[in-house]
Structure 1
Amino acid sequence: MRHLHAEWTKLRTLPSTWWLLAATVALTLTVGTAAVSSVTTQACPDPAACHEDTVKLSLTGVWLGQAACLVLGALAMGAEYGTGTIRTTLTAMPMRSRVLAAKATALALLTAAASAVGILLSLGTARLILPTNGFEAPSLTDGPTLRAAAGSVLVLALVALLGLSLATLFRDTAGAITLGLGALYVVPLLANIINSPTWQDRVQRWAPIPAALSIQATKNLDRLPIGPWPGLGVLAAYAAGLLALGGVLFRTRDA
């Protein structure tokens, strides 16, 4: 508990933490609202025939909100290396594995809380907008909707841990953010550029974000390259694997 309290204190006293959490909520809500507002009966005269996945549409903002979560995760470790305060931390708490575990726990809980706010606001806004456009509003008590919402919260928390893992590996905030953003945005774009259906399918299955965002789908699940929970498992495996590798290096090399 001492380690967790210390990491929570450090995380909450960083001004950038609250700005980035606010950005996560704002981006998730704003982009999601814009997405559901774009669906009208002019574009689709018969809403029932369109089979529009309105739940997934309302959660579109996760695609952009994840960038703020990645930066927050990278700063949680990278800022200490950048200022040299990591030495003070390890002098006061020499059990490095506990330091990293406490940092990951505090980061994941705080990110999940902010993400839940953004997700709930996005779904609530969709319930107000979609009926005025002639579409059925997503039910917050529906099983697939709850799975998509909870899964989206987990996606953002795992992305934050991915940022933490990369910063622990590289001991550099800029390097962690650059590589992390490349994995989040550049790799998925390659799936649209590659002409090979085989490689497109592989990217959709094994790249962390395309696979993880399958958790948001509530319709036509049989057409997904990878199932919702296995897709989320791909991102979890990346985050856990890199965090474990970072933990090994964190324990064995000098601060």
Structure 2
Amino acid sequence: MQPGVGPYAGAGVMKNAVRAEWTKLRTDAVTLVLLLGAVVSTVAVGAAVAVTSRCDAPGCGGDAIRISLTGVMVGQVVVAIAGVLMVGGEYGTGMMRSTLTALPRRSTVLCSKATVLTVVLLLTGTVSVLGSLLVGGLALPGRGFTEAHGFEPLSLADGAALRAAAGSVLYLVLIGLLSQGVALIVRNSATAVGIVLALLLVLPIVAQVVGDPDWQRHLQQIAPMTAGLTVQATVGVDELPLGPWQGLGVLALWATGALVAGGGLLRSRDA
């Protein structure tokens, strides 16, 4: 085998590509501010909803975990913008040409970007979700979410709570990857952000407007946000249009499809 050829050489190229993407990300002040903003907005909105919610009697129908994690719906917008800019920013400045010159194998470019974004969003999402649950655990008992009303203290030792927490972290990661894939497809940050936000926010509105219950349920099952956020539910799970992990799987299919399409176009088009 020739020097520099084979799996070890491939692993070295991938390692260098990941290191390069990490350097770009950590030296980009805009992306760092966005990631911090995702944490702050997620926790702040969750706290605001928690302190304004009430459960005045047993059987009030609230879902303490989901209330605490409401901020994920806002944090996802910031995460989507960060995911888009990781690719769209390079197309906007022309840096993508340099990236593809240094790394002609475009699948390596795609994998390195997705890997760095995944790791960063796993950390961002974990901090956001744990912070939200901590604030919710402190605020909700004072709003009537007590054992006397049928609510156990928030704890990740509970299987449903752990699933909601872990699923919310994965949800944010998948939103970032979906956004990155869309940015690779359209190669324009503003357009990509618009498309992602339309997928996340417009489809649920359309589902609410549709009068037919069957069509409404189908739209909820395929919309990336409504399907993906079912993973947060710990109350009334049997009434959901999809099971929690099934819903997250729908979002994973959206993200995979966007990355596959984006990767295919990355290989077939000039920078």
Q: Into which bin does the TM-score normalised by the smaller protein fall?
A: over 0.9
- Deviations along 1:129-180, one digit per CA (max 9) or x if unpaired, are 1122221331121111010001000111111111100110011111100111
Which AA in structure 1 matches 2:56?
Answer: P
Pick from 188, 208, 213 the counterpart of residue 197 of structure 1: 213
Residue 2 of structure 1 is matched in structure 2 by 16
Residue 202 of structure 2 is matched in structure 1 by 186
Once the two structures are aligned, what percentage of the paired residues are identical? 46
Once residues 134 and 239 of structure 1 are traced to their aligned partners in structure 2, the CA distance between those partners, rounded to angstroms, is 38
Residue 6 of structure 2 is matched in structure 1 by none
Pick from 171, 174, 189 the counterpart of residue 158 of structure 1: 174
Once residues 55 and 206 of structure 1 are traced to their aligned partners in structure 2, the CA distance between those partners, rounded to angstroms, is 23
- TM-score normalised per structure 1: 0.96
Give the aligned CA root-mean-square deviation in angstroms.
1.0
Which AA in structure 1 matches 2:99?
Answer: T
Residue 215 of structure 1 is matched in structure 2 by 231
Contact persistence 2:25–2:32 (CA under 8 A): no
Tell me, yes or no, if structure 1 residue 172 matches structure 2 residue 188.
Answer: yes
Greater CA radius of gyration, 1 or 2?
2
Residue 45 of structure 1 is matched in structure 2 by 56
| Offset of residue 45 of structure 1 | 2.3
Residue 19 of structure 1 is matched in structure 2 by 33
Tell me, yes or no, if structure 1 residue 131 matches structure 2 residue 131.
Answer: no
- TM-score normalised per structure 2: 0.91
Which AA in structure 2 matches 1:38?
Answer: T
Residue 35 of structure 1 is matched in structure 2 by 49
Once residues 244 and 45 of structure 1 are traced to their aligned partners in structure 2, the CA distance between those partners, rounded to angstroms, is 49
Residue 97 of structure 2 is matched in structure 1 by 87
Count the aligned residue pairs.
251
Residue 141 of structure 1 is matched in structure 2 by 157
Once residues 159 and 23 of structure 1 are traced to their aligned partners in structure 2, the CA distance between those partners, rounded to angstroms, is 16
Residue 206 of structure 1 is matched in structure 2 by 222
Residue 263 of structure 2 is matched in structure 1 by 247
| Offset of residue 100 of structure 1 | 0.7
- Please list every run of 5 or more consecutive structure 1 residues that lacks an aligned counterpart in the other structure: none
| Offset of residue 27 of structure 1 | 1.2
Once residues 146 and 87 of structure 1 are traced to their aligned partners in structure 2, the CA distance between those partners, rounded to angstroms, is 43
Q: Secondary structure at the match of 1:135?
A: coil
Once residues 145 and 34 of structure 1 are traced to their aligned partners in structure 2, the CA distance between those partners, rounded to angstroms, is 20
Q: Secondary structure at the match of 2:129?
A: helix
Once residues 219 and 35 of structure 2 are traced to their aligned partners in structure 1, the CA distance between those partners, rounded to angstroms, is 29
Once residues 138 and 190 of structure 1 are traced to their aligned partners in structure 2, the CA distance between those partners, rounded to angstroms, is 34
Query: Which structure 2 residues correspond to residues 225-236 of structure 1 after superposition, within 5 A?
Result: 225-236=241-252
Once residues 208 and 127 of structure 1 are traced to their aligned partners in structure 2, the CA distance between those partners, rounded to angstroms, is 28
Once residues 157 and 105 of structure 1 are traced to their aligned partners in structure 2, the CA distance between those partners, rounded to angstroms, is 11
Query: Structure 1 runs of 4+ off > 6 angstroms?
Result: none
Contact persistence 2:208–2:216 (CA under 8 A): yes
Once residues 143 and 268 of structure 2 are traced to their aligned partners in structure 1, the CA distance between those partners, rounded to angstroms, is 58
Which AA in structure 2 matches 1:238?
Answer: W
Contact persistence 2:88–2:184 (CA under 8 A): yes
- Range with greater deviation from structure 2 (189-198 or 158-167): 189-198
Which AA in structure 1 matches 2:28?
Answer: L
Pick from 85, 90, 102 the counterpart of residue 112 of structure 2: 102
Once residues 39 and 138 of structure 1 are traced to their aligned partners in structure 2, the CA distance between those partners, rounded to angstroms, is 15
Q: Secondary structure at the match of 1:50?
A: coil
Which AA in structure 2 matches 1:39?
Answer: S
Q: Secondary structure at the match of 2:241?
A: coil
Which AA in structure 2 matches 1:74?
Answer: V
Q: Secondary structure at the match of 1:65?
A: helix
| Offset of residue 51 of structure 1 | 3.1
